Every structure is written in C-alpha cells, then in structure tokens.
Structure 1
Amino acid sequence: MSLQRRDLLLTSAAVVFTPAVAAPRPLRIPHVSARAELERSYPAQLLEQALAAAGMPVQLEPTTELIPQNRALQELGRKRRLDVVWTMTSVERERQAWPVRVPIFKGLFGWRLLLATTDVAARMREVRSPGELRQFSMVQGLEWPDTSILQANGMNVVISPSYDAMFKQVRLGRADAFPRSVEEIWWEVERYGQGLTVVPDICLHYPAAIYYFVAPEENELAAAIELGLTRLRANGAFDRLFETHHGQDLARAKLATRRVIELRNPLLPPQTPLNKSELWHRP
C-alpha cells in the first residue's frame, strides 16, 4: 500500500470514527526498554490516555521479554504478537508499518549529548562544527537509525551489537563517545556511567520523530490514536505528561546554553510534520 493511499485511508477513518463507551480492548505492546516499569513509561501512559480520550479504552498487555525495535515492527498485526509499537521513524519503517505522525517525544531523541571519559570530554567540548566532530569516534548500536544518520554525516561510527558493551567500549577507549538522547542520558549515567561524564558545552541535533506504529490494516486503531493525541494536545494533557516525564531531564541538559552541532537526517520521510512547530521541542 502506498504512503499516499495510507494517508487517505487514515483521514477517512478519522472522519468517521465515533468514540463509544466500550469494555477495554486488550492492546499488545512491546517491552522495548530496560528503563522503569513499562506500565509507568511515558509512551505507554500517553498511548493509554490518547485512546481513552478517543473513546477506545484499552488494557495494555506488554510482552514479558525485551523486543528490539526492528523485530517489534515485524511483530505488528492481528496474527502476530503486537498491536502498537513506538520507534523512530524512517522511510523504510513507514513502508513496513502505518505511522501515526505525531512525534510523541517532540523530537527529543534528535537532541543528543555525549558520554565520554573525562580526558576525551575536555577535548570534545571545544568542537564547533561537524567537521571537527569527525575527528572523534562514536559508538552506536547495530541497526539503530542513529547509526545510519551519523554515518550519512561522515562521522566515524563504531558499531556494537550489545547495548551494555557500548559503555565499556568508551571506558576502554575503543570509541571516544556514546551519543545519547537527553531523555536517556541522565538515567544511563547513574546506572552505567562509571568512569564516564557528559561532555559539557555542546550537543548534537538532527530532526527525529518517534511515532506510534500499527499494522497497515489497522486504520481504525491508527485513527483513534491520532484523534486521542489531538485531543490531549488541545486540553493540555499531552504537555503536562511530557513535562512530568521529561522536564527534569531537559532542565538538567541546559540545551539553550550549549553549542548545537546540526546534522542532517537523510532517513526522515518527507511527510514528517517539521512545519508544525507546536509538535517539537526547541530550547
């Protein structure tokens, strides 16, 4: 199904969708992060609130095991294990599944701080351009969209198949730094950052959106999620939940005081709503 055809179906579904009081629908979601308990996570809470606002109450049913992002997309569909996945969008991912084009993290995963040893951090804090950043190596995960984004910008990327090993690689000098989103880095410093520090004065930025994705045939579910998110934005509940979960991390990051190294994101689909400033965080 073409992206244009999907968009037309989603628009039609949104118009005819009529919220109704009903028993909670079981909704299968992935356990995609080791951070916090899933039922308390921001994406899970936002999804539950959005569908409630759209008149489709749900009972979230997370998987018991962690599921990598790429595999989670493959598990979408009635005959598979998942109903909704949230992950960073790309042209390829929007071919695989149906995106609800509301960036639920307001682009926070495109704002990156750098974990490094103290010695490397002292040198990296002087970086003023992508060209100077290319003098340093950065570790990223296998099949992560960010890996391709950094490589497309000519960065020296060390690829690792193991999340836990990436922190060790930086400590051992096998990579100079580990770029992490402002939403992730402070939690990771506390748990995995022994011997590492957040590089001061600079940050990386590229446009990046994390969406909810559903199976291509689930146009009614996609329409309900979009309707609910629109209603939460209109009544302020979206921003309140965002601030509750991310306000402290953003305050600690002090992005407005940092030198921003802008990078391009060639994976970003042309339908990404970059022109809607109200959907994005800007320091």
Structure 2
Amino acid sequence: MSLRRRELLLSSGAVPLLARAQPRRLRIPHVSAKADVQRSYPALLLEQALAAAGVPATLEPTTELIPQNRALQELGRRRRLDVLWTMTSVEREQQALPVRLSIFRGLFGWRLLLATPEVAQRMSAVQTLSELRRFSMVSGHEWPDTGVLRANGLDVVVSPSYDAMFKQLRLGRADAFPRSVEEVWWELERYGQGLVVVPNLCLHYPAAVYYFVARDEPQLAQAIETGLLRLRANGAWERLFERHHGEDVARAQFGARKVIELRNPLLPPLDELDLGSKSPG
C-alpha cells in the first residue's frame, strides 16, 4: 500500500486499533547526552502520536546512556526496551521493525562541521568532495555516519567515546566533526571550547531517523504510524518540529553555504523510504 493510501486510511481512523484504558509503560533508551530525554523532541512526538492513535503511554528512559547498536540489541533479544529512534539502515531494519516516517524530516542528513578556528578557516574554502577529502573527520565507532563518510572516500578517525571526539579536534588528531543541526549548537555550547562551526560549508546525504520496535510488536508499530499520520494531517507534527528545530535551522543559514552532497549506501532502496519533507533553506 502506498504511503498516501496509508495516510488517508489512518488519518481518517479507518484502521482500528486496540485502545487501552490504562497508559502503556514504554521503555525508551537514553541515547543522547542531553539530560531530559523525556522532554526531548522524539519523546514528545512519540507521546503525542500514541495519544492521537488512542494508545496513551508513559515513557520510561533508561538511567544510563545506551549506544545505538546496544539499544537495538536490548530492543530485540533482551527486551529491556520497547521503542527507540535511530537512523535507519538495511542492517537495522533487519534487526527491528521500523515505523517508516522520518521523525526529523531528513534533518539528520544535513551536517555542519565543528573544527578549530584554524582548520575552519581552511575548510571554509572547500567547494568539492575531492577538496573535502584532504581533511579528516572524527566519528563514532558504531555510528551509521562513519559508514557514510568512508563510502564517500573521506578519512575517518574513529573514537569509542563521545566526549573524546571533541578532544580529538583540539589535539589535532582529526580536522572536523560532522554534526546534525539538531545537535551542533547544543554541543558547541557545552563541549565546544576552542571550537567553531565551519562557515560557508555543510554536508548533505539522504538520511531518515525512524522509530523502531521489536519485530514481534506490529500493533505497537501500527499505533505509532497511525498517530504520526494523524499529527501530520492536523498540523501538530509541524508545530512541534518548528518549536524544537526552527531556530536551529534558521541559525544554520543553509542558503549561504556550499552543500557537499554525499551518497548513503547504507539505506534501503529509496522507493521504500520516507525521508521527510524538510529542506533547510
């Protein structure tokens, strides 16, 4: 069934769901250094989507930070988690059941670069992917971003520690750290001593962050999808997105930057994807 057909059916309420008298307790991972995961955009959107589908829920984040790949394991074999959100890939869609609606509307594929002022000055003149390959990038050991960067011929310095990545830049062990618009300003304020956002330049590649549930939870996946489509139809999704990300997108000034396009070989076939409609200007 096409996405448009599903939108019409689900937003109209034509597909029945199992309503619950009591809120369902859903365990979610603490996957970000940002402290209040329950009030984060993905958590709030998930709550609103389930409420719109008639399946209210209370979200319970883990107390410790959980790396993305480990979170997928907890979702499947160990069942310590019920829902997570992460960038999709062929491998991840084999491990868990995706809700194929891009919750960040493609925004995670738009990357600004953190660097020292000296490196940033040199990088600001980059015009082509070939020129970008003269610089090294730092990235996480199990992050999908690492595979994307390497697939495009970029030199990647892999770090097992999130905190250490910023230190790698200051020590000159890597030149730049590609970060999404949703992350970069927050990180610059808290971890970016001695670092700046590279002017005049950004990276872009197709990317979709989806909600994932265990493969034996199709009803939960259907409820999330139904709620998201209803929020999209009534404008609530757009309002929540703009409230959380509108200022960050405006600050990035994408229209004034040279965009270096990268391919993303980790994705499922593009005709199976919902990459969102957000195109920063």
Instruction: Report the TM range for the smaller structure's normalisation.
Output: over 0.9
4+ residue runs over 4 A deviation: 13-16
Q: Secondary structure at the match of 1:72?
A: helix
> Is there any run of 5+ residues in structure 1 with no aligned partner, and where?
none
| Aligned-residue identity in percent | 71
Shift, 1:256, TM fit: 1.4
Q: Secondary structure at the match of 2:182?
A: coil
Query: In the TM superposition, what whole-angstrom CA distance separates every residue of 1:205-237 from its partner, at most 9, and x where no partner exists?
Result: 001100000011101000000000000000110
- The separation in 1 between residues aligned to 2:277 and 2:224, in whole angstroms, is 16
**1:68 aligned partner:** 67
> Is there any run of 5+ residues in structure 2 with no aligned partner, and where?
none
**1:198 aligned partner:** 197
- The separation in 2 between residues aligned to 1:67 and 1:147, in whole angstroms, is 18
Q: Secondary structure at the match of 1:183?
A: helix
Aligned residue pairs: how many?
A: 272
C-alpha RMSD of the superposition: 2.0
Letter in 2 for 1:281: S
| Distance change in 2, residues 1:154/1:77 (3 Å) | closer
1:280 aligns with 2:278: yes
Letter in 2 for 1:116: A
Letter in 2 for 1:241: L
Aligned 1:120-131 pairs, distance under 5 A: 120-131=119-130
Q: Secondary structure at the match of 1:23?
A: coil
Query: In the TM superposition, what whole-angstrom CA distance separates every residue of 1:243-264 from its partner, at most 9, and x where no partner exists?
Result: 1111111111011111100000
Letter in 1 for 2:124: R
Letter in 2 for 1:245: H
Shift, 1:272, TM fit: 1.2
Aligned 1:44-123 pairs, distance under 5 A: 44-77=43-76, 80-123=79-122
- The separation in 2 between residues aligned to 1:230 and 1:151, in whole angstroms, is 35
1:219 aligns with 2:233: no
Shift, 1:107, TM fit: 1.1
Contact 2:111 2:180 survives alignment (8 Å): yes
- The separation in 1 between residues aligned to 2:51 and 2:279, in whole angstroms, is 25
| Distance change in 2, residues 1:205/1:52 (3 Å) | same
Shift, 1:16, TM fit: 4.4
Normalised by the length of structure 1, the TM-score is 0.92
**1:17 aligned partner:** 16
Query: In the TM superposition, what whole-angstrom CA distance separates every residue of 1:36-93 from its partner, at most 9, and x where no partner exists?
Result: 3011101000000000000000011111111110011111159610110100000000
- The separation in 2 between residues aligned to 1:60 and 1:242, in whole angstroms, is 19
